Amino acid sequence: MESKRQLQIAELIKRNFSIVLQNEGSYIYGAEPLVTVTQVKITPDFNLAKIYLSIYNTEHKQGVLLELDEHLTRLKQSLMARIRRHVRRMPDIAFFLDDTLDEMYRLNELFNRLHEEDQMGEEE
């Protein structure tokens, strides 16, 4: 279970990294993809922040993640400038693709198809 401080720092990073992406994201991955921060998890030793991102309007989601990784130093500096008064040490950052919403749509489509097949079977 995460401590209260972990949750506070995670929320602080989530809010501020979202702003950093708004300001600098178009320079990194272009104007087309929409990238949102869905969740941030902090390790108990505060050395690593796992940032989960949802990426829309593009088929190349892994490419966007790779571009973010290439500009990690710039993003980390921008984030640190925003939160330096609240943290002693800036944690390392790791990006992860949050495909929960995509998976939900896929499962919903599958259930709808099964429901339609079931109704067609009852009519016969």
Q: What is the pLDDT of residues 4-45, one digit of tens each?
A: 999 999 999 999 999 999 999 888 888 888 999 999 999 999
Q: Where are the domains of the chain?
A: 4-99
On the question of pLDDT at 124 being above 80, the answer is: no
A 10 A CB-CB count for 85 gives 5
Q: What is the pLDDT of residues 48-83, one digit of tens each?
A: 999 999 998 888 889 999 999 999 999 999 999 999
pLDDT at res. 28: 86
Q: Are the C-beta atoms of 65 and 25 separated by less than 8 Å? A: no
User: What CATH class does 4-99 carry?
Assistant: alpha beta
